[in-house]
Structure 1
């Protein structure tokens, strides 16, 4: 693949602080386009327009992401003087609506915690770890990557906060509730004092993976009598945000807690709450039964 892609990704990392997952996604998108068209630096508008047909099977959100990667790439080429023109205007412009996040009810959350607490009663390391992971996903709204990569020194001795490194290397302070603090204390007491990460891998050379976190949560959901397909780390993050908003949390506070750079990203939760209210009216209003 072309060195221009490497240079573009290096710029994103250095100047914009793009996260590793973002860089990997952009690389896949750009290299996929290059497999279709040949060297992207030489592609013209007609070639880029043909991607609309090649990518017609994709979901609107996936197509929008690929086109965004290409537009940014060609803007970079222009800025660097590697191209005089920008052919990305020929790319398709899909209309994508941000989907409403999947939600768990308060009863389902309670069932998950009841099962996790019951299993952790014996103070086995694996079960206490799972309880801590659940507490921090739902109690603090961490992203999966933020959670599994937490360094051990992110947990202060006295202050009820975690220092979290989010997307783009941005750090923020995340409050930790009393329940999560108690679970964390149990986990820290079980050992691992020499480990770099709060949740080290079995080999001890890295940290728990996102894939394993996903598997652990789905296995817990099955044992709690909940459809495993409904549960994931991101669903628990959504539940954290939605239930806080239902309880009266301010949208700007929620933006800070979630680590969103743009308030527009956080506003999706106002639509979730609105959808809940509409469902309530349809179910409870006297005219709904006439």
Structure 2
């Protein structure tokens, strides 16, 4: 069974082009599933039935796993069985009609314009690292890139004259995103005055590098953002996606078309983008209640 899981993960890399973080998540979930099967004396995926999967789901609930975590586990198992069925390695799919726990839709945390300004004003631009951080924050808010997309950027993917970046999103899909004059100014300043002092090898292609001159990691970028959020006294739960959520919400609040925002964010399904409309409706209601004389 472990060999079949390895084949499935290889398929996800080669055929589906899944991102490294997503692949790691699938691997972790399926390794836990394998441990459960082994403890249940199951020696083949053919022997797994609907009842066994329900028992696994109940086990995770009793362990206090969050509904989102359980849904993620079940999604990995469903994808595995779709692969096994397609390759004729099993005769049926026991995940059919298996209901995952319902998740309460959690609205993403967003910053106000004033909070964005406070966060973006924190880096000191008189040092190479400060210039890098300023360029990173400005670029994140200007483009709505995922942090994983940001750190994957190479210098040649940034077009300073055209003021846009080319990035690879989920499923290795490329998209072009405009970045605006302010972000363009700081990215150019960082490239001209900061990056050269941080890199150790001229052959380095990464746009954003760490103190060792190598490509900045997702964890490194997240740590930097958290540090500036504390310095700005932002009393909100800041995540790697906070600037992305703020980017989308502020665009919609100012009249941007939902389809355009979907394309900018790189969402395959517009339903994913629609969560931001709930935030803008909430904002409209607050403004109405505060300003209408008969509210």
Instruction: Tell me the TM-score normalised to structure 2 length.
Output: 0.89
In structure 1, the gaps of 5 or more residues are: none
**Aligned 1:74-223 pairs, distance under 5 A:** 74-89=81-96, 91-116=98-123, 119-120=124-125, 122=126, 124-190=127-193, 191=196, 192=199, 194-204=203-213, 206-223=214-231
Structure 1 residues 68-109: Cα deviation after superposition (integer angstroms, max 9, x where no partner): 111121121111111112111364422224311001111111
CA distance in 2, matches of 1:59, 1:28: 16
Structure 1 residues 21-74: Cα deviation after superposition (integer angstroms, max 9, x where no partner): 111111111111111122561322222111122110222221111111111211
Note the C-alpha offset of 1:194.
3.8
Number of residue equivalences:
282
* Aligned partners of 1:51 and 1:91 also within 8 Å: no
Structure 1 residues 211, 40: closer, same or farther in 2, change over 3 A? farther
* SS of equivalent residue, structure 2 residue 96: helix
CA distance in 2, matches of 1:40, 1:245: 50
Instruction: Tell me the TM-score normalised to structure 1 length.
Output: 0.91
Note the C-alpha offset of 1:157.
4.7
CA distance in 2, matches of 1:62, 1:226: 28
* SS of equivalent residue, structure 2 residue 212: coil
CA distance in 2, matches of 1:285, 1:59: 41
Structure 1 residues 180-236: Cα deviation after superposition (integer angstroms, max 9, x where no partner): 1110111111214542101123333x4111111111112112222223x53233001
* Aligned partners of 2:50 and 2:94 also within 8 Å: yes
Deviates further, 128-137 or 36-45:
36-45
2:278 matches 1:271: yes
Deviates further, 124-133 or 211-220:
211-220
Structure 1 residues 240-284: Cα deviation after superposition (integer angstroms, max 9, x where no partner): 000011111111110111111111111111111112223334444
* Aligned partners of 1:137 and 1:233 also within 8 Å: no
Structure 1 residues 153, 246: closer, same or farther in 2, change over 3 A? same
* SS of equivalent residue, structure 1 residue 260: coil
CA distance in 1, matches of 2:212, 2:23: 27
Note the C-alpha offset of 1:110.
1.4
CA distance in 2, matches of 1:221, 1:47: 45
Match of 1:261 among 258, 262, 268: 268
Which residue does the alignment assign to 1:230? 237
Deviates further, 24-33 or 85-94:
85-94
* Aligned partners of 1:200 and 1:207 also within 8 Å: yes
* SS of equivalent residue, structure 1 residue 182: helix
CA distance in 1, matches of 2:37, 2:288: 52
